[in-house]
Chain A
Amino acid sequence: GAGVSQSPRYKVTKRGQDVALRCDPISGHVSLYWYRQALGQGPEFLTYFNYEAQQDKSGLPNDRFSAERPEGSISTLTIQRTEQRDSAMYRCASSPALAGGYNEQFFGPGTRLTVL
């Protein structure tokens, strides 16, 4: 079956531009997570959704970052007025169950964002 997919796989943009990163979770998975990973570091939690509801956005670095999942499936992470420090790998994960029990997260291949 298809895993988590993300698009684009690579994005190069100029400082000040807005970018939208898309995540298509595994079909039927109710929870969706966004992480950011700098080179040589572990993934850093950004936000997550149960169905269409954003449960926790404590990891979003500032108000230039936002995420939505309007129909409880595909999610978009938007970064406005990008800065060079936003350059990183952005990873999406999904899981089949809600919080509170065993819950394996399945990660996508990531979007490598480079801000010039």
Chain B
Amino acid sequence: DAKTTQPPSMDCAEGRAANLPCNHSTISGNEYVYWYRQIHSQGPQYIIHGLKNNETNEMASLIITEDRKSSTLILPHATLRDTAVYYCIVRVTNTDKLIFGTGTRLQVFP
């Protein structure tokens, strides 16, 4: 299973863009990169996913490098409600098993 590496914590000022990096250097060609977040003690919440192209939805943007060995999740205008643990996950090929790491704890401050 491809492993991901994320910084344990980051801070971001409210209203600014939050850029959360993730390394997945052992990713295989057909493995997707998924991002979930977990606010306080709630269940994880899906944010976005991608294979090779950059993706954007109403929550965030996902930038994947050309060699696919790393990606960045961008929250364009962070709010206090975006304070959470963000997990970068490489989905195991042909299964839906998600292997969560320890994630990045993002603290958005006023």
Contacts and interface: CB of A to CB of B under 8 A. Distances in A.
Interface of A: 4, 31, 33, 35, 41-45, 48, 55-56, 59, 89, 91, 93, 95, 99-100, 102-110
Nearest to A50: B96
Given A48-B97, A55-B95, A100-B94, A107 B103 contact: no
Given A105-B46, A107-B44, A108-B43, A42 B94 contact: no
A45 B46 contact: no
Interface string B80-95: 0000010100000011
Contacts of A55: 95
A67 to B, nearest CB: 14
Interface in B32-53: 32, 38, 41-46, 49
A115 to B, nearest CB: 19
Highest count of chain A CB atoms <10 Å: which of B32, B42, B96, B102 = B96
B44 A33 contact: no
- Tell me what chain B mostly uses at the interface: helix, strand, loop, or mixed: loop
B43 A102 contact: no
B100 A107 contact: no
B44 to A, nearest CB: 5
B98 interface: yes
22 contacts: A35-B98, A42-B100, A42-B102, A42-B103, A43-B44, A43-B98, A45-B97, A45-B98, A45-B100, A48-B96, A56-B95, A93-B43, A95-B96, A99-B94, A99-B96, A100-B94, A105-B96, A106-B46, A107-B42, A109-B42, A109-B43, A110-B43
B101 interface: yes
